[in-house]
Structure 1
Amino acid sequence: MKNGNYAMYLRKSRADREAEARGEMETLARHEKLLFETAKRMQITVSAVYKEIVSGETISARPVMQKLLAEIEQGIWDGVLVVEVERLARGDTIDQGIVSQAFKLSDTKIITPVKIYDPNNEFDEEYFEFGLFMSRREYNTIKRRLQRGRLASVREGKYVGNRPPYGYERVKIPNDKGFTLSPLPEQAKIVKYVYDLYAYGLDGEEMGTAKIVRKLNDLQIPTQSGGKWIPPTIRDMLYNPVYIGKLRWNRRAATKKVCDGKITYSRPAAKEYEICDGLHPAIIDLETFKICQKKLSKNQSRPISLNKTIKNPLGGLVICSKCGHRMVRRPYSKTGQRSTLICPYTHCDNVSSPLEDVETMVLEAIADIVKNERIEPTTSVIHSDTIDILKDALKNQETSLETLQKQQNSLYDLLEQGIYTTDVFLERSNTLKDQINTASASIQDLKRKISAEQNRLKVQADFIPKCEYLLDVYDTLDAPEKNRILKELIDHIDYLKEEKNVPFTKKDAKVFIHVYPKTPE
């Protein structure tokens, strides 16, 4: 075993975090020390240490685990040291199956301080899978206990969120567990101002969320994050019963769904959720809150059609140069006017333009790219030579890495023969480890560069013909197809228009766009 290539995987569990909160030793450092002692006892050379800071439920939420699994599948590691098998996968059966299969197909051993698991030994495999099953069962039990505890706290009037709503700060409850909310005087004034504007208007004028946003931004009142106000933020504030001394539970519970073969998470607003009396004081009186709810119910957003098709060929591509948000299409079907491209954020003064005009400018920019940036044959030859040079450098680094690993393996012989003391052994081992890490990093960097050069050649060969094809057939395509092809060719488009068009004149205000194509640098 000692001549193999081994990695170490460290991850905190929820129980570890609770233990640290009680003042116990930092978990990863303790586990790392234990596994290095195990490696020394088994004469195993650890080439890499992977530390997972997050405690995600699924593999998709654990980037370090994803990287380790990818390397395991490539056969890089002969074994992985871990404190217990439960640290590898605590998610659902799909994730556990992915982990089990990766170790089994690559014949990678799992090494713990008490046992070595061979995934291709039927008894070890059964023991390993049973360990994962028990881990999942324990995780679900802990999660249910935590959820029950959080719900019980909400019903007691305690605030269980990490981030307080605008207008409040989160404070510890004296002589009790948990937190409640305390009004922040300056922000509380703004909350009351927003509710009064929406409920009663200003100087006889009705004030909707867009007008309130303009008013707050004109007064240079910052949001909780220090940015500009937008209508959705105001609507969320007006809907939130926290301002009348209530608490909501499970209004936006996390839900899972499978999209394109991957598990994705979303937090849709629930139609039914629990509302409890809070321990915190109200900022808004009940009468004003009811008036706002009545007005909000009359101004519900239109439901999004499930069969909605793309009508904006530039959808998702055009970026407002002033505020950085994506610009959208505004139709004028009732008046017969042409659709315009606008920045949807009310605080932004970037002027809109007819969508067709911007579309024409984008096509002209693509035509210029075709004219000015056609790839010369010599360019492809240069990139091919670069790839050959990089491959030679990669081969040299791999040879160097192999030599360093042999040197590190021989350290154990010198230790056993008494030539090296433990201190000298560890010093030399760490030095070689640093050299191995440097060589490994250089290998990965060279592989990335080779892949980038190969991709550059491919994109260069495909990009101009795709542009020419788009220009030839553009007028025959529908909006979704135009948008699909444009997104293949363009990363994004910056848009700027400082002045409005002057009515009854033939001269329009200047529009500036900058098209960023998906071509290699």
Structure 2
Amino acid sequence: MPYCLYLRKSRADIDAEANGEMETLARHEKILLDLAKRMHLDVTEIYREVVSGETISSRPVVQHLLTEVENEMWDGVLVVEIERLARGDTIDQGIVSRAFKFSNTKIITPLKTYDPNNEYDEEYFEFGLFMSRREYKTIRRRLTQGRMSSAKEGKHTGSKAPYGYDRIHVESGKGYTLSPNEKETPIVKMIFDWFVNGQLQEDGSYRKLGAHAIAHRLTNLSIDSPTGNPTWNPRSVYWILHNPVYTGKIRWGYKKDKKIIVDGAVKRTRIIPPEEEQILVEGLHPAIISDEIFNQAQELFLRRGNPSVVIEKELKNPLAGVVVCGICGRPLRYRSNANRRDFGVECRTYGCPCKGSYIYIVEKRIIDALRDWVNEYKLSWDDMPREMHSLLIVKEQAYNAAIKELNTLTKQLDKTHDLLEQGIYDTETFLIRSKSLSEKIAESEKNIAKLSADINNEKLRENNRKNLIPKVENLIDIYWQLPNASAKNDMLKEVLEKVEYTKLHTVGRSKTKKLDDFDLVLYPKLPRT
């Protein structure tokens, strides 16, 4: 089996690059390729982690690498330091340690090769991860203290300027401050004015607008939102109206991350700490909004009451997470009516022309469509087995040929080291030949992976006739006898990826339009080709 490289930047590397040093990943790649050459290791893959994250769950490349390590795809992994693999808590360190130990995969650094099944190497490895975690926490504590000190000095500590400002360097010393954005500043003033004083009406009166009305108004005026989208989110308006930065203040510690356990997994949630733990000081930047206007806005929020809180309730919509709007792609929302027993679903995306319908009518149409689909699918299977069997044989033959080709290329790559030692290849020729063979091996592995996926898909299609079709038939038979919306929802999700719903008119009192006059597109859970 081959070896691979894992490259990841540390915070110190990012700081060094900012000071003009060589790009870190390129430098580390050269160091590790030179090491592989000296140790005669066949490197066939290089993994580059381009995102920064404390935990394994926030680093997709290392997750992929650990999966391959667990599947015993590598003899060893080359890293510049042991700390590059894991700097998270003891749980993350344990995940890394177990993956390498149980798969007997070596960790190779320029200073030492770690054999996870060697008792002394294992102890040294675990101690290295422990020390790297301590170093990480020390660095993070220093960074947090530095940002807090900058905030107390009135500097902007965020990586992105709030809407209405541009982020600029302070005139003297280190750090950043804010400068009013000529295009966005009038929009911020207009938002506060509409909320506090109101918008001028045709009769000469003023009507105060809430966050939703302001968002709709800005969208209609074709003003880009803070994210650059043409549609404004009311939450964006809400946070602008609550942010004291527009009065020339700097706020620090208003939100904090808190780790919680949900279904056995660590999740991050945002909390608002007590006021005594927050910092609110005069900033170096000029104000856009006066303290008087800002305070009036906060008083209006208090008068209107706190925002409603979503609490966990019993599921009432059997189509939740299944039916989406065929125009905008958003999930349809549940609609209740206190005076009637007919509940409905509708698209609530602002500006979307898709109309709502009663839930029981949409349900009936879905069940009828599933019945038609399963009948057609069963008929099509009668003509397909012989054709599918022939196709499966062809793909299995191609897969076996690709495996032989990969073995040949791997032997050729092994031979390049012998030719280098014999002096037939010089270093430059060796690197060129090694790279060429590595690329061919990578292409061969991709071909093998594709063929393997195709073979699995063909087999999955066969299993669908044995598994999916009976599930759909069972759903059709018992759907209307299920006890509640949750049970219906679970069964629909078992057989459907999603259902696209499109309706461009309302029925009203029209005698020509029917209640079930809408279009559905079903996406059964078939294997992807």
TM-score (norm 2): 0.91
1:263 matches 2:266: yes
Partners of 1:468 and 1:151 lie apart in 2 by 62
Deviation at 1:515, TM superposition (A): 2.5
User: 1:382 and 1:265 mapped to 2: Cα distance?
Assistant: 51
Q: In the TM superposition, what is the alpha-carbon distance from 1:126 to its structure 2 partner? A: 1.0
Find the residue that maps to 1:182 and give its secondary structure.
strand
CA distance in 2, matches of 1:35, 1:419: 24
Cα distance change of structure 1 residues 398 and 111 upon mapping to structure 2, 3 Å threshold: same
Q: Distance in 1 between matches of 2:215 and 2:426?
A: 71
- Residues of 2 paired with 1:114 and 1:213: CA distance? 58
From 214, 236, 240, the counterpart of 2:243: 240
Deviation at 1:372, TM superposition (A): 2.5
Residues 481/250 of structure 1: CA separation in 2 closer, same or farther (3 Å cut): farther
Say whether residues 1:151 and 2:148 are aligned partners.
yes
Q: How big is the shift at 1:505?
A: 5.0
Q: 1:80 aligns with which of 36, 58, 77?
A: 77
Q: After superposition, what is the alpha-carbon deviation per residue over 1:338-359, rounded to whole angstroms, capped at 9, x for unaligned?
A: 3232222333343332233323
Q: Supply the distance in 2 between the matched residues of 1:40 and 1:90 (Cα, whole angstroms).
A: 28
Name the CA shift for 1:278/1:91 in 2 (closer, same or farther; >3 Å). Answer: same
Among candidates 320, 324, 338, match of residue 325 of structure 2: 320
The residue number in structure 1 matching 2:497 is 491
Distance 1:457 1:277 in 2: 68
Quote how far apart the aligned CAs of 1:506 are.
Answer: 7.2
Per the TM alignment, residue 23 of structure 1 is displaced from its structure 2 partner at its CA by 0.9
Is residue 391 from structure 1 mapped to residue 396 from structure 2 by the alignment?
Answer: yes
Unaligned runs of 5+ in 1: none
Further displaced range: 175-184 or 511-520: 511-520
Q: 1:515 aligns with which of 500, 522, 525?
A: 522
2:197 maps to a residue whose letter is Y
Report the counterpart of residue 210 of structure 2 in structure 1. Answer: 208
CA pair 492-146 structure 1, distance change in 2 beyond 3 A: same
Q: Which residue of 2 aligns with 1:182?
A: 179
Contact 2:251 2:279 in 1 (8 A): yes
Match 2:344 to one of 340, 343, 358: 340
Counterpart-to-counterpart distance in 2, 1:267 and 1:384: 54
Q: What is aligned with 2:442?
A: 437
Inter-partner Cα distance in structure 1 for 2:145 and 2:349: 40
Structure 2: how far apart are the matches of 1:142 and 1:495? 52
| AA aligned opposite 1:386 | L
Aligned 1:15-414 pairs, distance under 5 A? 15-202=12-199, 203-224=205-226, 225-270=228-273, 272=275, 273-297=278-302, 298-306=304-312, 308-333=313-338, 335-336=339-340, 338-374=342-378, 376-414=381-419
Task: Say which is worse superposed, 362-371 or 473-482, in terms of deviation.
Answer: 362-371
* C-alpha deviation, 1:409, in angstroms: 1.5
Does the Cα contact within 8 Å between 1:213 and 1:346 map onto a contact in 2? no
Whether the 8 Å contact between 2:222 and 2:230 is mirrored in structure 1 is no
* Cα distance change on mapping 1:426 and 1:289 into 2, 3 Å: closer
Letter in 2 for 1:342: E
User: C-alpha displacement at 1:127, in angstroms?
Assistant: 1.0
For residues 505 and 220 of structure 1, do their structure 2 counterparts lie closer, same or farther at Cα, with a shift above 3 Å needed?
same
C-alpha displacement of 1:378: 4.2
The more displaced of 471-480 and 384-393 is: 384-393
Q: How many pairs are equivalent?
A: 516
CA–CA distance in structure 2, aligned partners of residues 301 and 459 of structure 1: 47
1:21 CA drift (Å): 0.9
The one-letter amino acid of 1:403's match is: T
Q: Deviations over 1:250-295 (max 9, x none)?
A: 3332332333343333335556544333222222222222222222
How well do the aligned residues superpose, as a CA RMSD in angstroms?
2.3
**Letter of the structure 2 residue corresponding to residue 179 of structure 1:** Y
Secondary structure of the residue aligned to 2:488 is helix
Which SS does the other structure have where 2:350 is aligned?
coil
Q: Kindly provide the CA deviation profile for residues 87-128 of structure 1, in whole angstroms up to 9, marking residues without a partner as x.
A: 111111111111111111111111111221111111111111
User: Which of 427, 431, 442 is the matching residue for 2:432?
Assistant: 427
Secondary structure, counterpart of 2:230 in structure 1: coil
Q: Which amino acid aligns with 2:424?
A: I
Measured at CA, do residues 362 and 247 of structure 1 come closer, stay the same or move farther in structure 2, by a change above 3 Å? Answer: farther
Confirm or deny: 8 A CA contact 1:110 1:117 kept in the other structure: yes
Rounded Cα–Cα distance in structure 2 between residues aligned with 1:514 and 1:11: 44
Worse overlay, 264-273 or 227-236: 264-273
Q: For the Cα contact (< 8 Å) 1:246–1:276, is it kept in 2? A: yes
Bigger shift: residues 318-327 or 263-272 = 263-272
CA separation of 1:43 and 1:218: change in aligned 2, threshold 3 A: closer
Q: Is the 8 A contact 2:344 2:358 kept in 1?
A: yes
Cα distance, 1:445 vs structure 2: 2.0
Partners in 1 of 2:104 and 2:526 — Cα distance? 41
Counterparts of 2:187 and 2:48 in 1: how far apart (Å)?
Answer: 44
Alignment deviations for residues 189-214 of structure 1 (CA, whole Å, 9 cap, x no partner) = 22222222222333343422232233
Task: Give the match's secondary structure for 1:181.
Answer: strand
Distance in 2 between the 1:382 and 1:277 partners? 75
Alpha-carbon distance in structure 1 between the residues aligned to 2:143 and 2:41: 40
CA–CA separation in structure 2 for the residues paired with 1:479 and 1:89 = 44
Partner secondary structure for residue 136 of structure 2: helix
Contact 2:219 2:230 in 1 (8 A): no
Tell me if the contact between 1:217 and 1:347 (Cα under 8 Å) persists in the aligned partners. no
* Aligned-pair CA distance for 1:324: 2.9
For 2:423, what is the secondary structure of its paired residue?
A: coil
Deviations 1:410-454 (A, max 9, x none): 222222222333333333222222222222222222222223333
Quote the offset at 1:312 in angstroms: 0.7
